[in-house]
Structure 1
Amino acid sequence: MTAGAAGGTGGGPAVEQALERVAPGRYDTYETLLRALADGSVWMLLWHGEPGSPDAQYGNMELDGYGYAPCVTSAAQLAASGWNRSHEVVVGREIAAELYRERYGLWLNPHAPGGGVGVPWLDLRRVATGLDRVPAGPLRITEPAVPAPQFYGALTHHAHHTPVVRALRCAWVEPALGEPYLAVGVDLYDTGAASVEAVRAMMAQAVAAAPDGLPVATVAMADEYDPVAMWLRAHARPFFDRDAYAAPPWPAPAPGGY
């Protein structure tokens, strides 16, 4: 894994304090760790090369088929780890943005008693893009059970009149922290600014028909890193599909005679 050029100046104590409180099932303390990681720094272990050099590569490790880049949380932890190759100090939010796009997580203090703590790439995506903008995992995603025929009818009607929309899917999402919500996956013909604005207008019109108190969120189906979009692509059939509506009801006859 190639190392980036991002640099940092420290910030380990907050990460270390949060790390000490992390425990199985304590999603609140894990969320605190992610916040500390976003604003703090980590000491990335270089398996090859020097900081800033074109051939610099981070170390990597694998657990249950998922890749992680190991790091430590302070100069003191670096010394305790016994790492005798190079390292670089990197801002947490910046290394998160680099790693999640390669589907690599970050493993904090693997030398520590108990083996340290791993942050999967889906959580690094949250660190990089904003913890308040993306629901806290692990997510429980299922087919919606909330009856909302008027909402789906309004959404289908407005989608027909929004030419950039190719298809719509939906799922019920229950985050580890926060309220469950109805996710509407939007598949577009193009993802330009005008198309995004058209979808915002479409959703604003349709949400008026949603049952009182039903939280609704839009998911971009083009986002290859969004776990809800991934689930929708794999498990949910569109309830609106413009291409299917445009298809002929039966195959056209083949040319020629019998």
Structure 2
Amino acid sequence: MSAGEAVEELLTRVTPDRLDTYESLLAALADSEVWMLLWQGAPGDPDAHYGGMEVAGHGYAPCVTSRAELAASGWNRAYEVVPGRDIAAALYPEHWGLWLNPHAPGGGLGVPWLDLRRIAGGLDRLPAGPLEISEPSVGVDSFYARLVALAPRTPALRALWRAWVRPALGDSYLAIGLDVDGPQESGADAVRAMMREAVAEVPDGLTVGTVAMADGYDPVAMWLRANTRPFYERDAPALGRSPASGPQGYGYPRAY
């Protein structure tokens, strides 16, 4: 079975309670091609652009999954054939999803932009959504304290954040948000070394991941910025006690 055939076969089996099937669909889509429907222009024209549709307030670009589906759709304008990973990388930065076979019985299936980001960046590298994100309740104070102790020795590090993440598939984990100065590799190496040293304080069985706070498309980073405060801030005014203790720490309201 080709990747394109796998997409069409999996589309018939995706249901809200079968997230494993949906995950398989995303993997097949990453390795296949889609026929993008051009609302205006022809492939390669500077004024060409894809069609668009809105579902529940979110934008999607419609496509079909094979030449046979193109014929079945009755589309009589131009189109272009694009690899799944390429269209995912093109759409998600604009917060656009991809809608597969909207002409099909039942209206086809939409792939939200967050899942296109996973296709573009690697399904094995980014957690499966939808994510449940909350403040962590695991007792790892020694890990947090070690991070706070090491952070001032890591000049590139501006702030540290934390959240508990429960993916749709896979184990829950503790996410540490890293806010760093610029993209310099030396600074990134120092931050990685800090994390390796601090992780020695993590008990067996607890998974720890990191998230770049500069990533404006990462759902964990977006949640952290919208709902919490860092538990370490390099440039915070001295309050006479450790940022890891007391009500000025993570999860408490800002003091005005």
Tell whether the structures are fold-level matches, with TM greater than 0.5: yes
Q: Are 1:192 and 2:192 counterparts?
A: no
1:56-95 to structure 2, matched below 5 A, reads: 56-95=48-87
Mapped to 1, the partners of 2:240 and 2:13 lie a distance apart of 60
Match of 2:229 among 232, 237, 258: 237
- Name the aligned partner's letter for residue 134 of structure 2: T
Shift of 1:245: 4.0
Match of 1:130 among 113, 118, 122: 122
Deviations 1:16-75 (A, max 9, x none): 112121111210000000000000010000000001111110000011111000000011
Mapped to 2, the partners of 1:101 and 1:246 lie a distance apart of 38
Specify the alignment match of 1:118 in structure 2: 110
Specify the alignment match of 1:218 in structure 2: 210
Mapped to 2, the partners of 1:192 and 1:121 lie a distance apart of 29
1:150-229 to structure 2, matched below 5 A, reads: 150-229=142-221
Deviations 1:175-219 (A, max 9, x none): 000000000001112222222111110100000011221100010
Deviations 1:197-249 (A, max 9, x none): 11110100000011221100010000000000000111121110111146899
Mapped to 1, the partners of 2:13 and 2:148 lie a distance apart of 47
Q: What TM-score do you get using the length of structure 2 for normalisation?
A: 0.91
Q: Are 1:140 and 2:132 counterparts?
A: yes
Specify the alignment match of 1:4 in structure 2: none
Structure 2 portions without partners, runs of 5+: 242-256
- Name the aligned partner's letter for residue 109 of structure 2: V
- Name the aligned partner's letter for residue 26 of structure 2: L
Asked whether the 8 Å contact 1:107–1:116 carries over to 2, the reply is yes
Q: What TM-score do you get using the length of structure 1 for normalisation?
A: 0.90
SS at structure 1 position matched to 2:82: strand
Q: Percent identity?
A: 65
Shift of 1:12: 2.2
The number of equivalent residue pairs is 240
Specify the alignment match of 1:253 in structure 2: none
Specify the alignment match of 2:244 in structure 1: none
Structure 1 ranges of 4+ moved more than 3 A: 245-249
Structure 1 portions without partners, runs of 5+: 1-9, 250-258
Asked whether the 8 Å contact 1:151–1:211 carries over to 2, the reply is no
Backbone CA RMSD of aligned residues: 1.5
- Name the aligned partner's letter for residue 62 of structure 2: P
Mapped to 2, the partners of 1:26 and 1:11 lie a distance apart of 20
Q: Are 1:27 and 2:19 counterparts?
A: yes
Shift of 1:164: 0.6
Mapped to 1, the partners of 2:240 and 2:94 lie a distance apart of 41
Mapped to 1, the partners of 2:71 and 2:238 lie a distance apart of 65
